[in-house]
Chains A and B, each alone.
Chain A
Amino acid sequence: MTTPTQTRDRSGDGPGRPNEQQEPGRSRAGALLLETVRNNMRQYGMLVALALIVVLFQIWTDGSLLLPNNVSNIVQQNSYILILAMGMMMVIIAGHIDLSVGSLAAFVGAAAAVMMVRHDMPWVLALVLSLLIGAAAGAWQGFWIAYVGIPSFIVTLAGMLLFRGGTQILLEGQSIAPFPRGFQEIAQGFIPEMGPYTQYHNPTLLIGLVVIAFVLFQEWRDRRRQLAYELEVLPFNLWLLKCVAIVAAVVAFTLTLASYHGVPVVLLIMCVLLIGLGFVMRNAVVGRHVYALGGNKAAAKLSGVKDKRVTFLVFVNMGVLAALAGCVYAARLNAGTPQAGINFELEAIAAAFIGGASMSGGVGTVLGAVIGGLVLGVLNNGMSLVGIGTDYQQVIKGLVLLAAVGFDVWNKRKVGS
């Protein structure tokens, strides 16, 4: 196969049929692929690492890791950390840190418990109010950070103490339980079964199909538009391979879930967040401004980015997500307790860094945070299954964090030299 030397050689062809794209040579396709991989090294690396960890524990546990009920379990067990990690990723991209999320989650969980148990409030109203409390707490911290200029480390360290204390005041040192059924379902529930009896959970299958259709449509539309704008695209073969891989992954995951109770409610919530926040960070003006601020604050300001407002919004968003995580955790325990959320901030921060965030800001994706969180989550679950004690679990998680970031530093240095 000969290699066309120029990349813009199709400018005259007009927008069109995908099979024109088979022409570009293998070397260019390879280079393009390599470049994509290299530019997203940490994320791809972690995806590979996640796959390896899954395979390792799948063998080690004689296949119980990927049993349908354990997969559901992993999702539910890690949901609140993943929710926090998504928000934390945005905070870190903006060049800040939030140490208060664990305490805030506990505080909001306690507030929800007080509202529902002591004041018999309907759970939907309590949930909405809880999220508003989270937003207010985020606005409080965002105000000091963005408009007054106190470093986020200090403000959120203060918040960590403040909200922890507030939790204990609200709960008077005791746990409050139980919650209405509906509230518990947020963390423990599944989407209800419908339709005729099949071997599988019907709505889950349907959701799987919708997801596949949506993803394929999105891929196809993206590709078509890229061609219309005469932009460079992946060669058709590779694109097809990518689509097949995505479909296979979704099918496998769907079938696994569908052979147990189906899609957990909290998974649905997380998917909505992942897609929504991912879209905002990638495509919304405000998301771009977050990256720009973290990458070079001075340059962003001189380009007209309203730095204070963007920083403020990032913390409001973090507050809402912390509140949601707090509700999910409380719902899972079916109690508001003063001990809730301890060390959640550290897990979330670790997830973000494993998933590709940079200490100096400006880098990372929401999906990366989820992958980082899953690495930690699967490690936790797998190690528990094979009977490794929590003492060693912590040691291993610490080493994984160090190795992930260390690998990235090493990799960057190699590219830089």
Chain B
Amino acid sequence: MTAPAEQFEKGPGADGAGTAGRPVLEMRGISKSFPGVRALSDVNLTVHAGEIHAICGENGAGKSTLVKVLSGVHPHGSYEGEILFGGEPCAFKDIRASEQRGIVIIHQELALIPYLSLAENIFLGNEHSKRGIISWSETLRRADTLLKRVGLPDKPQTRIADIGVGKQQLVEIAKALSKEVELLILDEPTAALNDEDSRKLLELIGELRAQGIACIVISHKLNEIRQIADSVTILRDGRTIETLSVRERPGDEPEISEDRIIRGMVGRDLDQRFPPRTGYEGEDAGTVALSVSDWTVRHPIDHQRKVVDGVSLQVRRGEIVGIAGLMGAGRTELAMNLFGRSYGLYERGTVRVDGRAVQTRTVPEAIGHGIAYVTEDRKTYGLNLIEDINRNISLASLSGLARRGVVDEHAERRVAEGYLRSMNIKAPNVHEQVQRLSGGNQQKVVLSKWIHADPEVLILDEPTRGIDVGAKYEIYTVIDKLAAQGKAVVFISSELPELLGMCDRIYTMAAGRLTGEVSREDATQEVLMRHMTETLDTGAGTGTATGTDTSPGTTSGDTGASSTSSSDTSSEDRAGTSPGSTSTFDSSTSGTSDKS
């Protein structure tokens, strides 16, 4: 297995990375659009036989969409460009078709049936049967062989629900092997795993390579990519940026630094302005409105896992504070647990609003203390789609619009009409059903709802996801206006340019911990990305294995130390690229619904 001899870069449009090694997969000029959004444009990807090929990119860069095109989730005809597998052109009409050719995708959310056995899951849809009657001896025997191959000691009769996520991931791989896989695609395989399980999984992937199975791994974890990948393709804004060689042959030391990958992921054209920040002039400007300390949350089902681990942060009046982090960093989990413990199991932590320690055990309590949370997924958690604009806006502040439990409908309608105008919501009237509105207008309705609740602290979770550029600008303007009125704004976003363009300060999170705090002046995309991809390499397996690593020293010490060190190293990088904080970004970034 020879890999490309030298590390080199290519612009979009160039084909595969290597010279030697038979290409097993070539995707040429792939373009894919969703209504209103161009998710992929002219993407090229070449994977060689027996290679582990990583795909990197920010959230929304188009990674998942690309993989869905490849596996037939987006059928042939719904995209442009061509796919060659083993030298032959392919036109998959569904997943089944691609699996028959030996391309198997394992999604981040595992597709296993919890109350069926391992054997039944492995052969689901592909059962060993004679005239519709399952042959159990054959099924169990084959399953046993496959489970041994992936290194699972469990019996084939065990139920999926009785084994952990790490093992379930291995079952998925066994299932793929049962289909005589030639190209295995793993979407964020280690996102939900602890360090020990991650290590095992990566080892297994390495073994599969030795057996001649090519592998595409989508991952945010750059250290893992350096650990196992042979080459890496970087996507950004739906385009292929470059394909880099990581190592010449398996087992070699990686030839490429994480910084090099980060540079590819974030360097972008900046051409969209942000509104100028107004600033807050009130008497209490600069006083701390929200102060969270040592907030720790465990996963609602897997109690061993800490999804938020000892996070402390402060937000002042009139300040917009960003929280950056990749998928699974724990940003949404933090926000939702803070807001009435709507997600996960609260373990410890205190929250103060305007210096007073308050309890936020339920949502009404949190709202009562002046906290508002604008959810990440507005359709599932933010809106009642079958109701009209009017009633969606009033929902969080109904008691304010009511006298003795009776809603003043006219006042309510007047409020809604007010927001229709001030937020520039494009709808014929306030009685339009929310599901008929575009994403941007829906988001304005959600914002209106919370603005009318008149909170002191607003937590905005991905407020511009999936909406077009014009509407984004309007939403930035609203956010700025809120800060100018003295509200404390927490801005969670996966799009670094908008954090750089809007925030006074940015915290970064990775794997549930706060990994850095960067001021507006010091912030660049490179600095942030470095913090966001920071994982604790030291003492890996031990922490999660025992499940009780309170170790206060390491948490705070680590973050402090690393944040200084990394901002030092990346100051060089910054010199090279344009300072991202000058506030602009490319339009095609978002909305590709790239995995959530």
Residues of A within 8 A of B (CB): 7, 35, 39, 225-226, 228-232, 279, 282-286, 288-289, 291-292, 295-296, 298-306, 358, 362-363
Contact among A288, A296, A302, A305 for B373, CB-based, below 8 A: A302
Cross-chain contact A229 with B413 (CB below 8 angstroms): yes
Give the chain B neighbours of A304 by CB distance below 8 A: 340, 363-364, 366-367, 396
Give the chain A neighbours of B433 by CB distance below 8 A: 39
Give the chain A neighbours of B411 by CB distance below 8 A: 229
Contact among A39, A283, A286, A303 for B409, CB-based, below 8 A: A283
Interface residue? B339 (CB, 8 A): yes
Cross-chain contact A299 with B363 (CB below 8 angstroms): no
Give the chain B neighbours of A295 by CB distance below 8 A: 384-387
Cross-chain contact B391 with A296 (CB below 8 angstroms): no
Cross-chain contact A229 with B407 (CB below 8 angstroms): no
Could you count the A-B residue pairs with CB atoms below 8 Å apart for me: how many are there?
96
Cross-chain contact B380 with A291 (CB below 8 angstroms): no
Cross-chain contact B342 with A302 (CB below 8 angstroms): yes
In the bound complex, how far is the Cα of B395 from the Cα of A305, in angstroms?
Answer: 8
In the bound complex, how far is the Cα of B391 from the Cα of A257, in angstroms?
Answer: 39
7 pairs of A and B residues whose beta carbons are closest in the complex: A295-B384, A303-B396, A296-B384, A304-B364, A304-B367, A303-B395, A229-B414
In the bound complex, how far is the Cα of B414 from the Cα of A295, in angstroms?
Answer: 23
- Beyond A283-B407, A298-B380, whether A303 also contacts B449 by CB under 8 A is yes
Give the Cβ gap from B25 to chain A, nearest Cβ, in Å.
38
Interface mask (B406-425 → A, CB under 8 Å = 1, otherwise 0): 11011101100100000000
Interface residue? B402 (CB, 8 A): yes
Give the chain B neighbours of A363 by CB distance below 8 A: 386
Name B236-279 residues within 8 Å CB distance of A.
none
- Beyond A229-B413, A283-B407, whether A39 also contacts B431 by CB under 8 A is yes
Cross-chain contact B342 with A301 (CB below 8 angstroms): yes
Cross-chain contact B395 with A284 (CB below 8 angstroms): no
- Beyond A229-B413, A286-B405, A295-B386, whether A300 also contacts B395 by CB under 8 A is yes
Q: What is the total number of residues of chain B having a CB less than 8 Å from a CB of chain A?
A: 38
Give the Cβ gap from B376 to chain A, nearest Cβ, in Å.
11
In the bound complex, how far is the Cα of B414 from the Cα of A35, in angstroms?
Answer: 20
Residue pairs across A and B with Cβ atoms less than 8 A apart, 14 shown, are A230-B414, A232-B429, A283-B407, A288-B394, A289-B398, A291-B384, A296-B383, A299-B380, A300-B384, A302-B373, A304-B363, A304-B364, A362-B386, A362-B387
Give the Cβ gap from B30 to chain A, nearest Cβ, in Å.
29
Contact among B380, B384, B402 for A292, CB-based, below 8 A: B384
Beyond contacts A285-B398, A301-B363: 9 other A-B pairs, Cβ-Cβ < 8 A, are A231-B414, A285-B406, A291-B384, A292-B391, A296-B384, A298-B381, A300-B384, A302-B375, A358-B386
Give the Cβ gap from A280 to chain B, nearest Cβ, in Å.
9
Residues of B within 8 A of A (CB): 339-340, 342, 362-364, 366-367, 373, 375, 380-387, 391, 394-396, 398-399, 402, 405-407, 409-411, 413-414, 417, 429, 431, 433, 449
In the bound complex, how far is the Cα of B433 from the Cα of A363, in angstroms?
Answer: 12
In the bound complex, how far is the Cα of B362 from the Cα of A109, in angstroms?
Answer: 41
Instruction: Report whether over half of chain A's contact residues are helix, strand or loop; otherwise say mixed.
Output: helix
- Beyond A288-B407, A298-B380, A304-B367, whether A231 also contacts B385 by CB under 8 A is no
In the bound complex, how far is the Cα of B363 from the Cα of A50, in angstroms?
Answer: 44
- Determine which residue in A279, A299, A358 has the highest number of CB atoms from chain B within 10 A of its CB, and name it: A299
Give the Cβ gap from A306 to chain B, nearest Cβ, in Å.
6
In the bound complex, how far is the Cα of B413 from the Cα of A139, in angstroms?
Answer: 34
Give the Cβ gap from B255 to chain A, nearest Cβ, in Å.
47
Give the chain B neighbours of A229 by CB distance below 8 A: 410-411, 413-414
Give the chain B neighbours of A305 by CB distance below 8 A: 363, 395
Give the chain B neighbours of A286 by CB distance below 8 A: 405
Contact among A285, A291, A300, A303 for B405, CB-based, below 8 A: A285
Give the chain B neighbours of A226 by CB distance below 8 A: 410
Cross-chain contact A302 with B381 (CB below 8 angstroms): yes
- Beyond A299-B380, A302-B382, A303-B395, whether A291 also contacts B429 by CB under 8 A is no
Give the Cβ gap from B162 to chain A, nearest Cβ, in Å.
23
Beta-carbon nearest neighbor of A301 in chain B: B363
Give the Cβ gap from A236 to chain B, nearest Cβ, in Å.
19
Beta-carbon nearest neighbor of B362 in chain A: A306
Beta-carbon nearest neighbor of A279 in chain B: B406
Give the Cβ gap from B101 to chain A, nearest Cβ, in Å.
35
Give the chain B neighbours of A300 by CB distance below 8 A: 384, 395
- Beyond A39-B431, A306-B364, whether A285 also contacts B402 by CB under 8 A is yes
In the bound complex, how far is the Cα of B386 from the Cα of A226, in angstroms?
Answer: 24
Give the chain B neighbours of A296 by CB distance below 8 A: 380-381, 383-385
Give the chain A neighbours of B410 by CB distance below 8 A: 225-226, 228-229, 231
Give the chain A neighbours of B373 by CB distance below 8 A: 302
In the bound complex, how far is the Cα of B407 from the Cα of A303, in angstroms?
Answer: 16
Cross-chain contact A288 with B395 (CB below 8 angstroms): yes
In the bound complex, how far is the Cα of B381 from the Cα of A368, in angstroms?
Answer: 28
In the bound complex, how far is the Cα of B449 from the Cα of A300, in angstroms?
Answer: 12
- Determine which residue in A7, A39, A229, A279 has the highest number of CB atoms from chain B within 10 A of its CB, and name it: A229
Beta-carbon nearest neighbor of A282 in chain B: B409
Cross-chain contact A284 with B383 (CB below 8 angstroms): no
- Determine which residue in B391, B398, B414 has the highest number of CB atoms from chain A within 10 A of its CB, and name it: B398
In the bound complex, how far is the Cα of B421 from the Cα of A127, in angstroms?
Answer: 53
- Determine which residue in A282, A283, A289, A362 has the highest number of CB atoms from chain B within 10 A of its CB, and name it: A283
- Beyond A299-B382, A302-B339, A306-B364, whether A292 also contacts B387 by CB under 8 A is yes
Give the chain A neighbours of B364 by CB distance below 8 A: 304, 306
Beta-carbon nearest neighbor of B399 in chain A: A285
In the bound complex, how far is the Cα of B364 from the Cα of A301, in angstroms?
Answer: 9
In the bound complex, how far is the Cα of B538 from the Cα of A94, in angstroms?
Answer: 51
In the bound complex, how far is the Cα of B381 from the Cα of A53, in angstroms?
Answer: 43
Cross-chain contact B407 with A302 (CB below 8 angstroms): no
- Beyond A226-B410, A231-B414, whether A362 also contacts B384 by CB under 8 A is yes
Give the chain A neighbours of B382 by CB distance below 8 A: 299, 302
Give the Cβ gap from A356 to chain B, nearest Cβ, in Å.
12
In the bound complex, how far is the Cα of B362 from the Cα of A305, in angstroms?
Answer: 10
Give the chain B neighbours of A288 by CB distance below 8 A: 391, 394-395, 398, 407
Give the Cβ gap from A17 to chain B, nearest Cβ, in Å.
19
Cross-chain contact A231 with B413 (CB below 8 angstroms): yes
In the bound complex, how far is the Cα of B413 from the Cα of A229, in angstroms?
Answer: 9
- Beyond A284-B405, A298-B381, whether A303 also contacts B363 by CB under 8 A is yes
Beta-carbon nearest neighbor of B382 in chain A: A299
Give the Cβ gap from A252 to chain B, nearest Cβ, in Å.
30
Give the Cβ gap from B155 to chain A, nearest Cβ, in Å.
33
- Determine which residue in B342, B383, B386, B417 has the highest number of CB atoms from chain A within 10 A of its CB, and name it: B386
Give the chain B neighbours of A299 by CB distance below 8 A: 375, 380-384, 395
